[in-house]
Structures are given as C-alpha cells and as structure tokens.
Amino acid sequence: MLQKKEYMIKAPKTARTKKLFTFLDSLIGLCYSSRKSIDSITKSDNHNTMKKLSHIDNKGDIQMVNVTAKAKTIRVAKARGVVKMDAHTLDLIEKGQVTKGNVSTTAKIAGIMAAKKTDGLIPLCHPLELTGIDINLNIDHRNSQIVIESQVKTTGKTGVEMEALTAVSVAALTIYDMCRAVNKKIIIGDIMLLEKSGGKSGTFIRSN
C-alpha cells in the first residue's frame, strides 16, 4: 500500500489555485486515514474469526474440540431440507407406486441411520449417544416438493446440530435415489438448521 507521503501534493504559490490544492491535499489525507482505519478493522475481524473457529488451534491447524471439562446438558437440534420434483413423481411417491418401494419409510430409516453415524462422515464431529431421532416428511402439493424435518436429542457435552443436518441430507439423497429412474431433475436444497438448544451458546431459533 502506498504511504501518505507519496500522495502529498505540493500546492502552487499562485493565489488562484492555492485553495483548491489545499482542499485536495486535505481530502487525500482523509482518504489515507480512512484506509488505515479499514485495514485495522479488517485485521481485527480476521483475528476474532480465528478465535471463534473452535476447530482451529492457535497455530491454524485443525483440531477436534476438547469437551472433557464441559458439563452434560440436554441438547436438541432441528433441521429442514426440501426436495423439489415434478407433480408426476410426487404423485407416484404419495400413492406408493415407485418401483424401488416405499420412498417415505426408506428415507426416514436412512435419515435415522445417518444421524447415528455422523461422526464417521464429518471428520471432527464427536461420537454421541443420541437419545432421540425424529424425521418427518411432508408433501407440499402447491410447491411440488417434499419438506423434510428432523429433530435430534442427546444429553451430552456437545450439540447435535450436525446430526440433525446429516439426517435431513441423507433422507433427501435417499428420496432422489429412490426416484431417479423416473425423474433425474429432482432438486435437493434449502438444507438448514432451524433450532438448537442446550450448551454454553444457548438457544438458536432461525427467524423467517
């Protein structure tokens, strides 16, 4: 970055332009000061971000968070995802006419199994003893889609957000796999955490 002294303008001695160049010099000085302030804020934000990333240590290396000293609390997380498709495919699912079998039941089982194996899929997740997993699939005819919602519970030292998100993701993938022979244009999207409670960070509720 150029230094302020490189921007300095030497004002001419003629009275006619002296005021103009004095103003320009002041303006450039103000811009230089603003740039320094922005750089300072950016560095501060980057430092704070690094501090907040619990999976990165002080050297910038990845780590599995040490939860040994944490107290066990009731942890709950809810997640949602959407599977969009044409009306014909949605109708086949609802009537149980998909060749591979019952799509809703298979997707629910897949989601439950995935939630229990999250630590084997996501590298830095802790293995957890889950105490409850609920998955609901709701057919939305108006928008030609299936809305998947999961709720995962445990009593432990770390949250179950990843388990809830994994459950929704794999349930959605299972719907695609069950129906891809009929429709390969199915879209999986809008996978998100809806709520979480328990632990030091407290409660999170996604606002609409």
End-to-end CA distance of the chain: 43
Cα–Cα distance for residue pair 168/57, rounded to 1 Å: 30
Q: In what order do the strands lie in the sheet with 187-197?
A: 130-140, 145-156, 73-84, 187-197, 204-205
* Three-state secondary-structure class, residue 195: strand
* Residue tagged active-site, from 91, 119, 177, 190: 177
Give the Cβ contact number of residue 190 at 10 Å.
Answer: 15
CA distances from 183 to 83, 96, 135, 186 (A): 12, 16, 24, 6
Decide if 91 is catalytic.
no
The residues annotated as belonging to the active site are: 177
